[in-house]
Chain A
Amino acid sequence: MAEIKLKPLTALGHDLPVTEALGPWTLTERFDVALASLAPRRGRLDEVRAAAARAGIPMSAPARAELGATFGAFWMTPDMWMVEAPFATHEDIRPALLAVFGDAASITEQTDAWVRFDLAGPELERLMERLSNFDLAPAPEGAATRTVIEHMGCYLIKRSAQAITLYGPRSSARSLHHALTVAAASLA
């Protein structure tokens, strides 16, 4: 084996995740969640649902996200979910999911395709109405949608009234961070 040890960086280029205050809100770049897409193969949805239920992987309803004990998931398309799991136990997520689903589903590693920002604080809709056309305030907890933020296609998940998760394209992490900070500054 080559004697090489590569060191990972966050999407913003940090060694470690950073939490910062944006006015009344806090923004954290998460660096501890593995992602993989889960797409049942044709005709095998029931099989996949059963396996998922056994493994504790929630297969949420359309436009919804769910969190289980270890795994979380959100709905992406009529035949695809994104599964979330902690680095601590599932940093290499694809083999873990292959073990659960075998050839009943197509599973693709997605951890590095996204930058994840968690935003927390009161009245997040005041911030998000500057950025996204998603109607956040009346949306239920667990609402998950793809939305456009300053030209960037992102997933927005409402975890609670005071917490949301944004998954944005990893290569645009700096631009997305900039969009969030200037919007927050204009409201401060």
Chain B
Amino acid sequence: MIINHPILGPRDAAEFVYLGDAALINRPDGMTASVETFHDYLYLRDNPAGEHRELWYHEQGDRSWLVVTRNTVTHEITKVELARDVARAQGRSK
């Protein structure tokens, strides 16, 4: 597969490490969230046949974490974003 890196352009997926569902961005706050909330965050995943947003790490590249929108049926990749941009847009800060 080829991942069209938002900064570096097309790169071989072999340079990346796959993590999984981009929902992992939304880590609950450890001081306020319940164990149940953390459990759901960590263990519950959708497994769609079709469009899927997922986290990839360019370990053998510029070390950016990316959010890749990929069709799990066709492998078509329709969108690639820097995960830090996505995280900030979702309200994550520090």
A residues sitting closer than 8 Å to B (CB atoms) are 62-63, 75-78, 133, 145-148, 153
CA of A105 to CA of B59, assembled, Å: 23
CA of A125 to CA of B27, assembled, Å: 45
- Interface stretch among B17-25, B40-48, B61-69? B61-69
Give the 9 A-B CB pairs with smallest separation, nearest first: A77-B62, A148-B60, A62-B7, A77-B63, A153-B60, A146-B61, A133-B12, A63-B8, A146-B60
Structural contact, A62 and B8, CB atoms closer than 8 A: yes
Question: Which residue of chain A is the closest to B62 with respect to CB atoms?
Answer: A77
Structural contact, B7 and A78, CB atoms closer than 8 A: yes
CA of A76 to CA of B8, assembled, Å: 11
Interface of B is mostly: loop
CA of A146 to CA of B12, assembled, Å: 12
B39 → chain A closest CB, angstroms: 33
Cβ–Cβ < 8 Å partners of B15 in chain A: 133, 147-148
Structural contact, A78 and B82, CB atoms closer than 8 A: yes
Given A62-B7, A63-B7: A76 and B62 within 8 A (CB)? yes
Cβ–Cβ < 8 Å partners of B8 in chain A: 62-63, 145
Cβ–Cβ < 8 Å partners of A62 in chain B: 7-8, 62
A95 → chain B closest CB, angstroms: 26
CA of A119 to CA of B61, assembled, Å: 21
B77 → chain A closest CB, angstroms: 18
Q: Name the contact of A146 in the complex, choosing from B7, B14, B62, B82 (C-beta under 8 A).
A: B62
A40 → chain B closest CB, angstroms: 15
A92 → chain B closest CB, angstroms: 27
Cβ–Cβ < 8 Å partners of A78 in chain B: 7, 62, 64, 82
CA of A78 to CA of B8, assembled, Å: 10
CA of A133 to CA of B10, assembled, Å: 11
Cβ–Cβ < 8 Å partners of A153 in chain B: 59-60
Cβ–Cβ < 8 Å partners of B63 in chain A: 76-77
Cβ–Cβ < 8 Å partners of A147 in chain B: 15, 60
